[in-house]
Amino acid sequence: MQLDRILQSQGFGSRKHCRGMIRHGQVAIADKVCDDPFVELNPEGLNFSVDGEPWQYREHAYIMLHKPQGHECSRTPKHHPSIFSLLPDPLVGREVQPVGRLDEDTTGLLLLTDDGQFIHALISPKRKVPKVYAVTTKHPVDDDQLAALRRGVQLHDEPVPIAAAACERIDDHLIHLTLIEGKYHQVKRMVAAAGNRVEALRRIAIGGLSLPDDLEPGEWRWLEASDLEKLWGKSEG
């Protein structure tokens, strides 16, 4: 694949813009500046740098973001900054999309990708991929509330009660709630229907993939093959 096409595929702009970057010496291959936009390269696993920033060719972008509070999962936010303001321009340029949305005041693990089939598979109720939330409540959580969440609570405009796949009390005001479907404000509505109120909400896991302890709010990182295996609940090795 020609170098200008490689850069275009990775979100660095139009082919014309990428050719200009290359001719101006902004692109290096194996630490050597390459000023030929039409040089043919094998993109698979290709490492390159743009303006000194290292990149690796990836057919699809799969990333995790530790979503901070006060950010909207939208390219056209209305009241708060967009999560896309936290990402480098090439990722925004290749039009990664969030895999399901988190409310502006909800924090935690958010996946983004430019792979539409991947998004569909993860959010499809048929796949039953669990999402785990750490829920801080206003009032102490009692046994009746836990039982109601496990048994199922009736939500407005839903034909049947909705039950958590799992619900564990961590302390008086903290539970871990596992869902396998995603409805509008589902956690907040379920906790309210059980007789309590959500004070803070953080998604801590999707499938077998947990939010890393060393990923600070606002930071992102690539999902590697081992992460994708965990995501689908496959054991390593």
Sign of CA dihedral 28, 33, 34, 40: negative
User: Whose CA is closest to 73, among 123, 121, 137?
Assistant: 123
**Helices 143-151 + 186-193 axis angle, to 10:** 130
Determine whether 103 is an active site residue.
yes
Taken as a whole, the chain contains a residue count of 237
36: amino acid identity, one letter: D
Burial of residue 128 (CB within 10 Å: 0-12, 13-18, 19+) is exposed
Q: Which of 103, 142, 172, 227 is catalytic?
A: 103
Q: Any residues with CB less than 8 A from the CB of 20 and at least 6 apart, and which?
A: none
What residues are annotated to the active site?
103
